[in-house]
């Protein structure tokens, strides 16, 4: 569970706030998508949850500090750099202080990337690269994985493969929190949807997927659950 109370943030420390007075609980063991227009502070919200940014006001309480993070591909790695999948994982294990290198083979098998163990990152497709980054996040055995637009720039087949992988992880007990630019995909694949709206990160009342269908819009709602239909 992530408990958020009176969360307020701006990069300048002054109004107008990007995020203002957010209060919500994010449940464990679910597939949750964050949606919203460009500039609605989706990525900022995620960075606040991760502790990469400090709130101006309010607090975020995490039941577990063991969270894996998968940034947008272009933010996280230069694909022109000559490094293999194995080397990326080896470096990450060292950073985590984990000495069990057998874990690399276990994770590669879990994400169906064993045959690419010694491949250069730059030789992989977009979907394969994203699998590598998801696997890297899994090396720490996280209870939750947060992903920032994991399917951006991929073809439909790769997007389907990534969604299937994330659902498989959820079924194994890993909570999934993802920033998603495609509202239809978020609604179809998630247990809950969080919408950042009004261009300032405000989150309002809880609504259901039934409400979305009936009103044919998502302008005024914010946490949806399929379980509430």
pLDDT recorded at residue 228: 43
Residue bearing the bigger pLDDT, 227 or 14: 14
* Predicted confidence (pLDDT) at residue 210 exceeds the cutoff of 60: no
Query: Looking at the domain assignment, is residue 216 inside a domain?
Result: yes
E strand or H helix at 184: helix 183-189
CA distance 143 to 77: 24
At residue 76, the pLDDT reads: 54
93 assigned to some structural domain: no
Instruction: Return the exposure string of 110-139: e unless at least 16 CB atoms fall within 10 Å of the residue's CB, then b.
Output: bbebeebeeeebeebebbbbbbbbbbbbbb
17 falls within a domain: yes
Note whether residue 92 is domain-resident. no
Q: What is residue 59's predicted lDDT score, i.e. its pLDDT?
A: 93
Average pLDDT over residues 181-208: 66
53 belongs to a structural domain: yes
184 φ/ψ angles, rounded to the nearest 5 degrees: -60, -40
- Structural domain containing residue 152: 2-75+143-228
Give the CATH number for residue 152: 3.40.50.300
Residue 52 inside a domain? The answer is yes
The answer on pLDDT for 217 being more than 50 is: no
What is the rounded distance in angstroms from the CA atom of residue 142 to the CA atom of residue 206? 28
Which of 3-7, 33-37, 50-54, 93-97 bottoms out in mean pLDDT, i.e. has the lowest?
Answer: 33-37
Q: What is the pLDDT of residues 104-148, one digit of tens each?
A: 999 999 999 999 999 999 899 888 988 999 999 999 999 999 998
Confidence of residue 211 (pLDDT cuts 50, 70, 90): low
Residue 217 maps to a domain: yes
CB of 6 within 8 A of CB of 19? no
Distance (Å, whole) CA 21 – CA 80: 42
- Over residues 175-187, the pLDDT tens digits come to 999 998 877 777 7
How does pLDDT run across 36-93, given as a tens digit for each residue?
A: 777 788 888 899 999 999 999 999 998 777 899 998 765 556 667 889 999 999 999 9
The half-sphere exposure of 200 on its side-chain side, counting CA atoms within 13 A, is 13
Distance CA(30)–CA(176), nearest Å, equals: 6
Structural domains in the chain (count): 1
Alpha-carbon torsion 120, 121, 122, 123, what sign? positive
pLDDT at 219: 45
SS3 166: helix
Give domain status of residue 38, yes or no.
yes
Q: Is the per-residue pLDDT at 220 higher than 70? A: no
Assess contact for 176 and 31: CB atoms under 8 A: yes
């Amino acid at each position: 569970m992530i408990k958020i109370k009176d969360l307020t943030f701006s990069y300048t420390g002054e109004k107008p706030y990007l995020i203002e007075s957010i209060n919500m609980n994010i449940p464990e063991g679910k597939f949750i998508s964050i949606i919203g227009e460009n500039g609605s502070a989706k990525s900022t919200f995620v960075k606040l949850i991760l502790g990469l940014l400090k709130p101006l006001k309010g607090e975020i309480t995490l039941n577990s500090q063991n969270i894996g993070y998968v940034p947008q591909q272009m933010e996280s790695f230069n694909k022109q750099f000559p490094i293999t999948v194995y080397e990326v994982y080896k470096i990450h294990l060292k950073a985590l202080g984990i000495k069990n290198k057998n874990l690399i083979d276990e994770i590669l098998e879990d994400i169906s990337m064993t045959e690419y163990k010694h491949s250069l990152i730059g030789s992989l497709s977009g979907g394969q690269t994203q699998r590598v980054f998801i696997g890297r996040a899994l090396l720490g055995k996280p209870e939750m994985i947060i992903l920032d637009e994991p399917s951006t720039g991929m073809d439909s087949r790769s997007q389907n493969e990534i969604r299937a992988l994330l659902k498989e992880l959820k079924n194994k007990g890993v909570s999934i929190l993802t920033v998603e630019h495609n509202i239809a995909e978020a609604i179809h694949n998630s247990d809950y949807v969080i919408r950042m709206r009004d261009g300032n990160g405000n989150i309002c009342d809880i609504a259901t997927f039934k409400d979305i269908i009936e009103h044919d819009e998502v302008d005024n709602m914010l946490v949806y659950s399929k379980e509430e239909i």
